Structure 1
């Protein structure tokens, strides 16, 4: 007998070898059809040899079990994981075994009960006659699926339909079993154990009494210490969302399903004093897809802008109700106001457009109107005002109309709830009589082949059609059109003859819009035909050489198109010419102050005309600069120190020089006395004991050049 074989298996269990299902089941009683081992972990224990099992099916059929202590009782809940297994267990029932854990960590058998579903008579006896949920439970236990007709063909669709009926029965049964322990007991999915003692640890085992060979299943167990229910569960946070006569209540599915399998929704219309239940039966919302993380309940309310108070009651697998915090929501007006009628847009002048419309005065919640404009029938439309016009407004003047673009207008009615009633767009025809702005930034050139290029800045007008270029050989002549058609880009290319006495060519540009309105002609651009004849060469006439500079004078080029002159210099005749100065065409003298003494320099001139042609280099002038005498030392001073030594000091700006100190005693001549390097003072430590002593200093440069002797300074020694 199946019961005896399982009893034999459980009779020798110890605490250390018992399989505990200690992990709570998140909504498992509702969805074990699809998942799950979350009800608990089962110990892989071999069954008695008297009842052989098909070990290949182990793991396919499972029973999850969980327990909870309430102090005066312990509620045990379980559920199978497969619909056909569930239907078979309804017929055979389950074996419930309880064992107590004693002090020496061993267990003793308390009782074994065979749990069968209630008969119809037991349902009538144990539940109220108006309990519709109890009737539904009884139907799930004793009802039958719609059979396949005797004359119907057995197809895959028919088989799947029978399977779907079984799946649906199991899912509904698990939801109803969660809602109250009475329903769980009636469907053989739960047990309320009232013969318990506080503080005692109990082990509960659930075994389906099905054929072990057909439905091999491992023993499911759960452990509980009867120390009371503990802190009550709290419902997860709920947030409201307003709609038109509608309030949506939303909460997180992942957080809620870890503790609750279904819900009740209650509403209060008296500020939360009393609540009325909106869900007559436990309410669930299966996920729409794997990414569905939100549970949402929508409640229709009769009145907008009125506060309604709600609370959500989460139903645990043990039939407990966990109320949420009180939530306040209200319905809001989402109905847009009527659209305006007889919308019209008329061009006044320039950039002004008058927009008028009509609107029924009976609409009482209109807050105002917004006028919007677009350049396309499909939009996007941009508002022309920052704040809506008043509800009495029926016209608006747009001062930003763009004549060269399409102008579409809409008027949007706005009600007090900020709902928008859009009108159909209307088109405004604008008479454009104003041309584009004056072209600017003309530049150009004529190269040595006669090629002409003229460029200018692009006009900013979006309706620009193109440009026409006009030219003349004199500013006072009539300008004639050079272009055929209109230039799309601000570039004009042409060619002119260079064999003409008229050296200059004048150009102007006129812009046209798409309505053929011309702009004001641009400023005149003057271009000069290139000159192929180089200017005449300047001639150096005179020069003056000193030890600090070379002064030059020359006769400039006689050509009238000279733009500037280049003064060239070189060190020796073998060196290359270097540009010394760029001078205007009228200058005829220049002083070179960057020379060195005792050096050779060569000078020449080149004239450059307006076309960039250079004259030949003038006949060079070669000069020899004289030897430069260094400047003598100045600011010489001498003082007698307390120790009867003499300190001589002086000033000199040139670095890296050697200074020779001269001394004369009484009427004797000056003699070289001592020297210092790159220093501006000297201390005479061996002066005469007394008398008049004179000092002077001479500077000697690193290249050996010597300056004259400095002024003399005297000191009296006593």
Structure 2
């Protein structure tokens, strides 16, 4: 068919009956057909859900069959546009094999070729007559004919260069033909037979079951197409299911009808929608079958119908249409009523404070929509964004003022208008704030801690005021310093984190807070919390002042560390030419500054050093090492005749001794109490042989020791005596 021939079919001269209808009627038909093409531009072209026609790598025949009591209906198609094109040219062969008779398999199945010849689309002349005879009620025949025989797939749309048909002309020619052909034959089984894709087998028996095989007649060297088949008996006739899940809504001045589509795609590819104004007599309202548009996530399909009359009941139902032109039973009808939508919203105009707890609210609402209202509801929240709760329901539609009791420090009101049909409209928030000059209570239970990194964590007990806005945090480094506010914005939580410098001479840091309400009334300051900084500064080092060697012992004296947080001081010793230091002494009191080392070897060289340790465990740098070379031991006889006399009247003890060795330099006298440690008490010259002690306590036992020190540094052996005073 040439394009001019097809245009003739669309715009041919009117028949006598058409002339009676007039030119307007003919124009309407042509425009309706063009609208049909545009409408189905984005439709899904499919045989059915299980036999979806798609472009795949392997061209394949897809078959569907339907059993009737005296016949079997066959429909097939292909899943490839080139297979469809060649199929139109070379056709299809249907083989039927009788497999079962009277319930028993045949030992020799009976195979025949149906139709007696290759099945192809009807000749062009038959299409022209068919289109002419069915133009008024079957536009699908014209669509299929143009897809198969048209020189190009062009419609008569020159009057409107911007219609959706422009999109069609820009797509691939074969894609357009393939898609529209499949869609049109899906809508009408008779058109499918004209297109060479449908067949009715009437030579069947109910006691037999047949295997139908549809074989492409396209030469394999041109395109190999897989065949397909179905196994069916006339006795297996099934009733079509009733469409389900059909519902309707009134939405934005229209009726929206929705129903399940994909679950019934095995049975129906399109639907008719019927409408009634009495619930009994229904009339189809769609001009073309209703089908689903392009793929989406929804499994349903929808249709929107305009409103003829408001406040009137209408009934809707659907009927499914199969690919074999079968019409299903109607679905259950849904009943819908249209009503005018609520468009106005309430608007607060002012409020009047009755007391700190009570307010008179006033609003407006258009009189012309008052008759649509069922009621007003009053909503409240303490913040503009909510959440809002309903505090009064069922306010009369004629009411425009309301007296509300129970105000909080912060109040936001909204008014909800509710129509007789459940629609709602909501006013903007309206703020009401009572006068408040009372500050919050003083915050309590402020506590804090500082970690080793200088991070301060403060916590406190939450205030209970409903209009509490937050807290301000203040800090000082000294008691006489002015406090500084730390936070620019109010702290809402009951905790705050601060960071401080630990390497400072200020041991403590001081914090206090205040509470702030919604009117910026500020509370009294909390009690000040004092936090001690973790010690990060090590103490200063102690320094050796002097030393001496006596009787094979070393006497060490030092100046203590100047830091005031020293816990103890440690003395370490090592022998010269070694790196191993040994702790030999740790002070037990903060006043000790003297130590006698008696665990040494005469003639050896020793190094001594000291460190101070503070309350945080920080250690000072070691003091400069003190090097001491011990003299060799020259043992001298012990001091003889050491004895004591007690003079209780004069509260004294006299010590006497004898010693005749030459070259004595001095005598060293030591003293201790029972269970105590000897300390150097006095020194005496070589000529002195007695000593008076008046530093006594009654009922105390004292021990005295003495040794002689010679001019060459050697010492005598030790002598001691016990005296009970």
TM-score (norm 2): 0.51
Aligned to 1:116: 120
Deviation, structure 1 residue 464: 5.9
Q: Which of 234, 238, 261 does residue 230 from structure 1 map onto? A: 238
Q: Which of 382, 388, 393 does residue 382 from structure 1 map onto? A: 388
Aligned to 2:144: 137
Deviation, structure 1 residue 165: 4.3
- Extract unaligned runs of 5+ from structure 1: 1-24, 37-58, 148-157, 444-454, 470-481, 492-508, 525-718
Aligned to 2:498: none
1:161-209 CA-to-partner distances (Å, cap 9, x unmatched) read 7764433433332233233321111111101222333323334332333
Is the 1:180–1:318 contact (alpha carbons within 8 Å) kept by the matching residues of 2?
yes
Q: Take 1:32 and 1:402, find their aligned partners in 2: how far apart are those partners?
A: 65
Q: Which of 56, 66, 69 does residue 71 from structure 1 map onto? A: 69
1:237-267 CA-to-partner distances (Å, cap 9, x unmatched) read 4233442443333333441123222222222
Q: Which of 373, 379, 400 does residue 372 from structure 1 map onto? A: 379
Q: Which of 275, 283, 299 does residue 276 from structure 1 map onto? A: 283
Is the 2:317–2:334 contact (alpha carbons within 8 Å) kept by the matching residues of 1?
no
Is the 2:378–2:392 contact (alpha carbons within 8 Å) kept by the matching residues of 1?
no
- For the structure 1 residues 351 and 122, does the alpha-carbon distance in structure 2 shift closer, same or farther, using more than 3 Å as the test? same
Aligned to 1:351: 357
Q: 1:169 aligned to 2:167?
A: no
Deviation, structure 1 residue 303: 3.9
Deviation, structure 1 residue 160: 11
Q: Take 1:218 and 1:93, find their aligned partners in 2: how far apart are those partners?
A: 14
Q: Secondary structure at the match of 2:274?
A: strand
- For the structure 1 residues 199 and 172, does the alpha-carbon distance in structure 2 shift closer, same or farther, using more than 3 Å as the test? farther
Q: Take 2:364 and 2:272, find their aligned partners in 1: how far apart are those partners?
A: 50
Is the 1:306–1:331 contact (alpha carbons within 8 Å) kept by the matching residues of 2?
yes
Q: Which of 288, 299, 314 does residue 293 from structure 1 map onto? A: 299
Q: 1:221 aligned to 2:259?
A: no
Q: Take 1:113 and 1:29, find their aligned partners in 2: how far apart are those partners?
A: 30
Deviation, structure 1 residue 285: 0.7
- For the structure 1 residues 515 and 382, does the alpha-carbon distance in structure 2 shift closer, same or farther, using more than 3 Å as the test? closer
1:129-157 CA-to-partner distances (Å, cap 9, x unmatched) read 4232322232222224359xxxxxxxxxx
Is the 1:263–1:312 contact (alpha carbons within 8 Å) kept by the matching residues of 2?
yes
- For the structure 1 residues 195 and 162, does the alpha-carbon distance in structure 2 shift closer, same or farther, using more than 3 Å as the test? farther
1:317-344 CA-to-partner distances (Å, cap 9, x unmatched) read 2221223432213145573341234622
Q: Which of 220, 224, 228 does residue 212 from structure 1 map onto? A: 220
Aligned to 1:33: 53
Q: Which of 85, 88, 94 does residue 87 from structure 1 map onto? A: 85
Q: Take 1:393 and 1:160, find their aligned partners in 2: how far apart are those partners?
A: 59
- Extract unaligned runs of 5+ from structure 2: 1-44, 155-165, 448-458, 475-480, 496-512, 528-725
Q: 1:178 aligned to 2:186?
A: yes
Q: Take 1:353 and 1:159, find their aligned partners in 2: how far apart are those partners?
A: 64
1:382-433 CA-to-partner distances (Å, cap 9, x unmatched) read 2452413111211123323333x4x433333222223222233333353213
- For the structure 1 residues 409 and 146, does the alpha-carbon distance in structure 2 shift closer, same or farther, using more than 3 Å as the test? same
Is the 1:115–1:188 contact (alpha carbons within 8 Å) kept by the matching residues of 2?
yes
Q: Secondary structure at the match of 1:109?
A: strand
Aligned to 2:110: 107
1:262-295 CA-to-partner distances (Å, cap 9, x unmatched) read 2222222221x22211222222113543x33222
Q: Which of 460, 463, 467 does residue 468 from structure 2 map onto? A: 463
Q: 1:432 aligned to 2:436?
A: yes
Q: Secondary structure at the match of 1:87?
A: helix
Q: Take 2:167 and 2:284, find their aligned partners in 1: how far apart are those partners?
A: 40
User: Where do 1:496-515 residues align within 5 Å?
Assistant: 513=517, 515=519
Q: Secondary structure at the match of 1:113?
A: coil
Aligned to 2:316: 310
1:612-654 CA-to-partner distances (Å, cap 9, x unmatched) read xxxxxxxxxxxxxxxxxxxxxxxxxxxxxxxxxxxxxxxxxxx
Q: Take 2:126 and 2:46, find their aligned partners in 1: how far apart are those partners?
A: 31
Q: Take 2:473 and 2:211, find their aligned partners in 1: how far apart are those partners?
A: 102
User: Where do 1:391-406 residues align within 5 Å?
Assistant: 391-403=397-409, 405=410
Is the 1:337–1:419 contact (alpha carbons within 8 Å) kept by the matching residues of 2?
no
Q: Take 1:305 and 1:35, find their aligned partners in 2: how far apart are those partners?
A: 50
Q: Take 2:437 and 2:231, find their aligned partners in 1: how far apart are those partners?
A: 94
Is the 2:73–2:200 contact (alpha carbons within 8 Å) kept by the matching residues of 1?
yes
User: Where do 1:619-658 residues align within 5 Å?
Assistant: none
1:436-464 CA-to-partner distances (Å, cap 9, x unmatched) read 46888999xxxxxxxxxxx9954311336
Deviation, structure 1 residue 76: 1.6
User: Where do 1:43-58 residues align within 5 Å?
Assistant: none
Deviation, structure 1 residue 89: 1.7
Q: 1:246 aligned to 2:251?
A: no
Is the 1:245–1:304 contact (alpha carbons within 8 Å) kept by the matching residues of 2?
no
Q: Take 1:514 and 1:282, find their aligned partners in 2: how far apart are those partners?
A: 65
Is the 2:95–2:111 contact (alpha carbons within 8 Å) kept by the matching residues of 1?
no
Q: Take 1:293 and 1:29, find their aligned partners in 2: how far apart are those partners?
A: 12
Aligned to 2:267: 259
Q: Take 1:468 and 1:206, find their aligned partners in 2: how far apart are those partners?
A: 88
Deviation, structure 1 residue 82: 0.9
Root-mean-square deviation (Å): 4.3
- For the structure 1 residues 29 and 439, does the alpha-carbon distance in structure 2 shift closer, same or farther, using more than 3 Å as the test? closer
Q: Take 1:278 and 1:326, find their aligned partners in 2: how far apart are those partners?
A: 17
- For the structure 1 residues 30 and 313, does the alpha-carbon distance in structure 2 shift closer, same or farther, using more than 3 Å as the test? farther
- For the structure 1 residues 512 and 96, does the alpha-carbon distance in structure 2 shift closer, same or farther, using more than 3 Å as the test? closer
Q: Take 2:357 and 2:167, find their aligned partners in 1: how far apart are those partners?
A: 76
- For the structure 1 residues 431 and 118, does the alpha-carbon distance in structure 2 shift closer, same or farther, using more than 3 Å as the test? same
Q: Secondary structure at the match of 1:61?
A: coil
1:582-635 CA-to-partner distances (Å, cap 9, x unmatched) read xxxxxxxxxxxxxxxxxxxxxxxxxxxxxxxxxxxxxxxxxxxxxxxxxxxxxx
TM-score (norm 1): 0.51
Q: Take 1:227 and 1:235, find their aligned partners in 2: how far apart are those partners?
A: 24
User: Where do 1:479-558 residues align within 5 Å?
Assistant: 513=517, 515=519
1:459-492 CA-to-partner distances (Å, cap 9, x unmatched) read 31133676999xxxxxxxxxxxx9969999999x
Q: Take 1:349 and 1:486, find their aligned partners in 2: how far apart are those partners?
A: 36
